[in-house]
Chain A
Amino acid sequence: MRTVTDKHRQDSWNIEGGGALAVDPHDLREPLVEGTPKPADVTETVSRVVESKPTRLWYATVTVTGALAGWGILTILYTVFTGIGVWGNNQPVGWAWDITNFVFWIGIGHAGTLISAILFLFRQKWRTAINRAAEAMTIFAVICALIFPIIHTGRPWVAVYWLLPLPNQMEMWVNFRSPLLWDVFAVSTYFAVSAMFWFVGLVPDFATLRNRAKNKIARIAFTFFSMGWTGANRHWHRYEKAYLILAGISTPLVLSVHTIVSFDFAVSVIPGWHTTIFPPYFVAGAIFSGFGMVLTLMILARKLLNLEQFITVKHIENMSKVLMATGLMVGYAYGIEFFIAWYSGNPYERFVFINRAFGPYSWAYWTMVSCNVFIPQLFWFRGIRRNLLITWIISIFVNIGMWFERFVIIVTSLHRDFLPSSWGMFTPTWVDVSIFAGTVGLFLTLFLVFAKYLPVLAISEVKGILPGAQPKHGHH
């Protein structure tokens, strides 16, 4: 039996009964941080990023992503002043890139709350190193998502009457029977709760930064946002309570948002849309795509911000496993949908699925299947799960695959109407491409600003998982 003296714990935590800390020889739990950093090291590492001047690389990247976002805004203005006829949408493909992008971004926004809420309830301590960044990503992704339905209304300045049930003299009411309206409620609730959850988690870290701030503006800002946090016992007690309650509230939201999004399609009678597996299948897909994006960003961020000690290969491996599990769930849904399309005996159902796989959009279908089902199978190998470069490349494929999943569901189901005389094809215009690229730029810009000016790691939470921070009983 290996026994280590946990000197650091005795020194800085003064937990009753400190001393020899027994380590199980078969301890299957890999440490969540590398080395033996002190709590002060965590503060130092994370705060240094916030307090130092932005690097040239940061300026260069923000310029590129900001330009992309600016181009997106210009093309949005062009759309609004000209009309949404500048998009590729047509009859019968009345929904296309707009809602594809909406669902794509909403899906990306699922990892953050899953990590901060569901993994918290599942007592997955490895979540602490990635939850802050993932929650930020969630909020930015939802912002990007919200752009599409709003501009698709054509006249966003009156959309408030179409999206919210506001009493008005025109006696114009929203359609309560439409899942699109429930989307408004579901997504705005999700956005509000996610933002609140994120903010509550940030409060103790704001206080840390406030105490360290040398610059006047930073001190005023951090003082304001830390809301008088002193780190008193009572503050921590209430903080933990609030965190648990927010986790409880957020958990059903993780499921409800994409369930409602799936209803946008599944309540219709369109073959390929109307199928009962949609709600959990969409939720699994959302988590899959969300983790794909977290991996894409965090593998880079941990390197650039020198956080390898806290976001370890173990974290990357765990996320790869989540990616594989949810990818298989999505694959299961593809398979069952295909089987039932045959089993139903309904020629329209059957046609849609054969058309998806072998029709004019088969290239999109097989891109989706390859990226979402075939390629993530590489994660069966431990060596690949722990290889950062390969994992990063696979995560990019997942991002691509999940965009194509929404494209395939939406466009292939619409482009072949019940009557062959109403068949058509969809081709995106340069405006479609520009607005989507613009949201990518906006998302990355917001993330870069976050990564520079706010603590990317939850400082106080990571301190809680340092070796020795958890009182261990039952000495062997």
Chain B
Amino acid sequence: MAALDSQTYTFTDKGRFGVIALGTGIVFTALTVVGAFTDSHMFFASWLTSFAFWTTIVLGALFFVMLQHVTAAVWSVVTRRAAEALALALPVLLLCFIPLTFGMHDLFHWSHAEEVAADHVLAWKAPYLNTTFFIVRGLVFFAVWIALAFVLHRRSVAQDTDGDVAHTYALRKISAGGIFAFAFTVTFAAFDWLMSLNPHWYSTIFGVYVFVGGFLTCMAVLLLIFQMLRRQGMLEGVVTIEHFHDFGRLLFAFTVFWAYIGGSQYYLIWYANVPEETVWFLARWDNGWKAVSMALIFLHFLVPFLTLLFYRVKRNTVLLRTIASLLVVMHFVDMFWLVMPTFGPGVHFSWMHLTSALGIGGLVMWMFWTRYTAHRAVPASDPKLADSIAHRV
């Protein structure tokens, strides 16, 4: 059981969470790698699904930190350190990106020179969709995100010791520019890693769709992390029901926003009925995919929407935990729904989906826990901390 000094917010005992996460990460990653030798095609497809799942969540944390700085948010100061630490899991995801580069031919139709030569649309796109540029772009995206995550964390931690309010102002400026860089890198990452799986298909809102799902799920993950800490007796009176209520409001708002973006994307394509666009949704309807699409509508939107609408639900930790867990699962289904229809008809859920999600997730959580417990659990000298704890917003 981990423990926290309630005065200084430093961890006196880091507990076993990190070890369990690391163990889970190593064991399940190893198992998934074994799968690579039995069915390399499925290995890469499921690795991409889990990679997209965790990367979008961790990017959600990076965005959450920057959003707080830019808006000078008060309520969320107590939650910021955890989000900063979660964003520091990006280097793990950079490592997880490397296996994908070995599976280009398995994953991306456009990476086959003979296919491109036979298809004038792919030939047109070749200056953008080619393996070298794809990898270079991936590295640039990670470089931008990792640099932002490190700067935001380092300044924040520095303020713990020196208490200098100048950090607050500097972080606000960094975040303003950071969000600008973030918007474009995340969009193009979504285009590259997910949209280009169907290289003929395009949708201008796709980047926003992927980002919103990740941000929503990050709120759910942070909510679950704080409930875990609270159950272990940490941050008592610091992260209170008021903060969980606010997380509940954000879950509500962003599940609606996710549905708005996903719904209008679907709707405009359905209404215009242009074959080159509808083909993407047809592949997510026929051959058993209808059930998955419906599950997204009901469990990713309607159920959270109709429950979180109520005040009492947002202040009930058990219900909040249940809905947050549902949203995490549904984000995985969403990524599965984006990735898998490319790989042949029918819904093919492999054991490797599970192991890769747990493997990458274990490593992400280990990195998060290591970074989180290395410093104070909340930004101890943030000028807005007292207001945040008392929820004077």
Contact = CB atoms under 8 A, between A and B. Distances in A.
Contact of A279 (B168, B264, B390): B264
A28 B168 contact: yes
Interface size class of A (residues with CB under 8 A): 35 or more
A474 B264 contact: no
A474 B204 contact: no
B298 interface: no
Contacts of B204: 275-277, 333, 336-337, 340
Given A276-B269, A344-B202, A345-B125, A123 B393 contact: yes
Contacts of A7: none
A277 B261 CA distance: 9
B205 A280 contact: yes
A269 B274 contact: yes
A274 interface: yes
Interface string B172-184: 0000100010011
A343 interface: yes
Nearest to A343: B202
Contact of B264 (A276, A332, A472): A276
Contacts of A29: 72
B121 A345 contact: yes
B302 interface: no
A472 B386 CA distance: 12
Q: Determine chain A's interface SS by DSSP, over half rule.
A: loop
Nearest to B187: A336
Interface residues of B, number: 41
B268 A266 contact: yes
A193 to B, nearest CB: 18
Contact of A340 (B180, B202, B272): B202
B119 to A, nearest CB: 10
A295 B261 CA distance: 29
A328 B180 contact: yes
A274 B270 CA distance: 12
Contacts of A328: 180, 183
Interface string B104-135: 00000000000000001110110010000000
B291 to A, nearest CB: 24
A472 B187 contact: no
B268 A278 contact: yes
B313 to A, nearest CB: 15
B161 interface: no
Contact of A267 (B207, B272, B393): B272
Interface string A225-265: 00000000000000000000000000010010001000100
Interface in A322-339: 328, 332-333, 335-337
Nearest to A179: B271
Interface-centre pick from A29, A274, A278, A336 (highest chain B CB count, 10 A): A336
Given A269-B272, A280-B208, A473-B390, 14 more contacts: A24-B386, A28-B383, A28-B384, A255-B260, A259-B264, A263-B271, A269-B274, A276-B206, A276-B264, A280-B261, A335-B184, A337-B204, A345-B125, A473-B392
19 contacts: A24-B386, A27-B383, A28-B72, A28-B383, A29-B72, A259-B264, A268-B272, A276-B204, A279-B205, A279-B260, A280-B264, A328-B183, A332-B183, A332-B184, A335-B184, A336-B187, A340-B202, A340-B204, A345-B124
Closest 4 CB pairs of A and B: A26-B383, A277-B204, A345-B121, A276-B205
